[in-house]
Amino acid sequence: MSINFGLLDLRAFLAVFDCGNFHKAAERLNLSQPALSRRLRTLEARLGIALFERSTRSVRPTAAGRQLETIARRVLDDLDTSILSINSIGERQPGQITISSIPTAAIYFLPKAIKHFNRQYPHIRLRILDRSPQEVLECVVRGEAEFGINMIGSMESEVMFTQVMEDPYVLACHRNHPLAKRQNLTWRNLEGHALIRIGRDNSGNRAFLDSALTKANVRLDWFYEVNNLTTSLGLVEAGLGATVLPRLATPLGRHPVIITKPIRSPEVTRAIGIVEPRRGRISPVAKLFRDLLLADWRSLIVDGKMKVPRRYA
């Protein structure tokens, strides 16, 4: 049996599914509301099923509508991605992707991924909103970013968090620092050394680390306090102290001055992953970049944790 309907019919269906409202869905597709309604009625007639339960106040998907939603998204996503790849269309396709990211992922890891992406899609621009963990979530919820890179799961019902890796906290110090040559470094070995604390009081990293150290009954001497990772690394390079930061935030290559060392007893890690809208879909070019990010992450991970490069003691 041949089922005859158009791609715009599926897009109309998904717009109503996402918006829960014909007026907003019509605006999204730049259609009149009667035209949108006709497309949906045509789709339902050709499928022989009702896709939505309509009332004066709301539009809710039926069980069949929820089943079709998964299929329709996959079909349209695959089609959009395939079209971008035909005859290198994607390589010539202009466009812009906006993502949000916690700064510790944006400073070293993200530029490497962007460099890979830019080689393949040189005409697609990227806009990065480097924000706190809560602000990363809010950017995705408000639609300011297509997806986000974050360190925490979310209680927000409008987004979903897909964990990619466990990122351990490590010590970064000058190569001449007393701790630079110490083997099997523990948190208690850091006691008595002047340390540099990173992050404002509302920083996700700071709150997470403070909570973990309190549970381990470890008290550290935070002698300096800065807001930015780059400032802390500048103080480390000057030999003024050592800092604790996530491994993902450390330089990817061998650094001429800074030594990075794992810290044990206990090992403190944070969950890193992708935050996406629960309803709706990201654009095809954003999906291409997200998939590249995931591939780059997989190259850094063994058994769910980051590999330990040679530069680590």
pLDDT digits (tens, 9 = 90+) for 22-71: 888 888 888 899 999 999 998 998 888 999 998 777 788 999 988 888 88
258 pLDDT above the threshold of 80: yes
Q: Which pLDDT band, with edges at 50, 70 and 90, does 196 fall under?
A: very high
Q: What is the pLDDT of residue 141?
A: 85
Q: What is the mean pLDDT of residues 76-102?
A: 68
Q: What is the mean pLDDT of residues 132-144?
A: 87
DSSP secondary structure string for all residues of 50-75: --EEE-SS-EEE-HHHHHHHHHHHHH
Using the CB atoms, write b or e for 127-140: b if 16+ within 10 Å. ebbbbbbebbbbbb
Whose CA is closest to 161, among 225, 102, 84, 249?
A: 102
Q: Is the pTM of this model over 0.75?
A: no
Q: What is the pLDDT of residue 215?
A: 85
Domains of the chain: 7-86 (1.10.10.10), 90-164+271-304 (3.40.190.10), 166-270 (3.40.190.10)
pLDDT digits (tens, 9 = 90+) for 214-242: 888 888 889 999 988 889 989 999 999 99
